[in-house]
C-alpha cells in the first residue's frame, strides 16, 4: 500500500466535479453539493445522539479529574474540554454540509441534557452554538471544498480559542488572561482543541470511513476513491 493510502490527509473536493467559477453549471453543482439530503440529516442525528451519550458519560469524570489536575496545575483541565466539542469538527468531516457542526452539537447537547447533566441548559446551549460556529469557519472559508487534516486542526484550534475566551470572559471573571492560571488555561485549551477536536476527529473519520459505514456519503466515497487511485 502506498504512503498516500496509509496517510490520506488530503480530502479536497475533486475540481472536475466541484463548482468551478468558469462553468455555466457552477451554481447548480455547488447547490447540489452543499444541499442537505435526508440521509445527511439522519446520519447527523445519529452522530449527535452518540456524542450526546458520550458527553453524558464523560460528565461523571469531570469533577474528580478537574480536582486532580487543578491541584497539579490550575487551568490544566482545560485541555480536556475538547472532548465535549470535538463532535463539531467530526460532523463537518463526515457530512460536509454547511451547519453540520451546529446541528450535530445541538443534537448532542439536547441528548446530554435529557439524560441528565450537572451543567445548566443555558451553558450547554450557548457553548454548543459558539463551538459549532467556530468549527465551521475554516471549512466555510474553503467553501466546504477542502476536508483534510490541516483544516481539521485549524477548526479544532479555532473552536478552542473561541471557547477558551468565552470561559475567561463569562465564567472565570476573576482570572486575568495574563495571570498564570489564565495563560495555562488558554494554552491547555488550544492544545486540547488541536489534539482532540482536530487530530482525533480526523482519525475517527478515517476509521469510520474504512469500515464502509460512510459509503453513502461523499466523505466515505472520497476516501475509497483516493485509496483505489493510490
pLDDT tens figures, 131-154: 999 999 999 999 999 999 999 999
pLDDT band at 123 (very low <50, low <70, confident <90, very high): confident
* pLDDT given for residue 30 in this prediction: 67
Query: Please, is 132 exposed, middle or buried when counting C-beta atoms within 10 Å of its C-beta (0-12, 13-18, 19+)?
Result: buried
In this prediction, residues 4-22 reach a mean pLDDT of: 48
User: What is the DSSP annotation of 19-66?
Assistant: --TTSTTHHHHHHHHHS--HHHHHHHHHHHHHHHHHHHHHHHHHHHHH
Torsion (CA) 65, 68, 74, 79 in degrees, nearest 10? -30
Phi/psi for 3 (5° steps) reads: -65, -35
Cα separation, 161 vs 168, in Å, equals 11
pLDDT band at 8 (very low <50, low <70, confident <90, very high): low
* pLDDT given for residue 19 in this prediction: 40
Return the closest-CA partner of residue 162 out of 150, 173, 174, 170: 170
* pLDDT given for residue 28 in this prediction: 59
Distance of CA 179 to the CA centre of its chain: 29
From residue 85, give the alpha-carbon distance in Å to each of 30, 54, 88. 28, 11, 6
Amino acid at each position: 500500500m502506498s504512503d498516500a493510502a496509509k496517510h490520506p490527509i488530503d480530502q479536497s473536493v475533486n475540481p472536475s466535479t466541484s463548482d468551478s467559477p468558469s462553468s455555466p453549471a457552477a451554481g447548480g453543482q455547488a447547490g447540489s453539493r452543499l444541499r442537505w439530503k435526508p440521509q445527511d440529516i439522519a446520519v447527523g442525528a445519529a452522530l449527535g445522539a452518540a456524542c450526546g451519550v458520550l458527553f453524558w458519560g464523560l460528565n461523571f469524570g469531570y469533577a474528580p479529574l478537574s480536582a486532580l489536575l487543578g491541584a497539579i496545575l490550575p487551568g490544566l483541565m482545560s485541555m480536556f474540554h475538547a472532548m465535549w466539542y470535538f463532535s463539531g469538527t467530526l460532523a463537518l468531516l463526515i457530512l460536509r454540509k454547511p451547519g453540520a457542526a451546529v446541528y450535530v452539537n445541538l443534537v448532542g447537547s439536547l441528548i446530554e441534557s435529557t439524560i441528565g447533566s450537572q451543567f445548566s441548559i443555558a451553558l450547554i446551549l450557548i457553548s454548543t452554538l459558539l463551538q459549532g460556529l467556530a468549527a465551521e469557519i475554516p471549512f466555510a472559508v474553503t467553501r466546504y471544498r477542502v476536508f483534510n487534516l490541516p483544516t481539521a486542526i485549524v477548526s479544532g484550534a479555532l473552536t478552542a480559542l473561541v471557547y477558551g475566551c468565552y470561559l475567561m470572559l463569562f465564567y472565570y471573571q476573576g482570572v486575568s488572561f495574563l495571570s498564570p492560571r489564565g495563560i495555562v488555561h488558554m494554552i491547555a485549551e488550544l492544545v486540547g482543541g488541536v489534539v482532540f477536536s482536530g487530530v482525533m476527529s480526523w482519525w475517527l473519520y478515517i476509521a469510520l470511513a474504512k469500515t464502509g459505514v460512510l459509503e453513502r456519503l461523499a466523505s466515505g466515497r472520497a476516501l475509497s476513491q483516493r485509496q483505489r487511485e493510490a
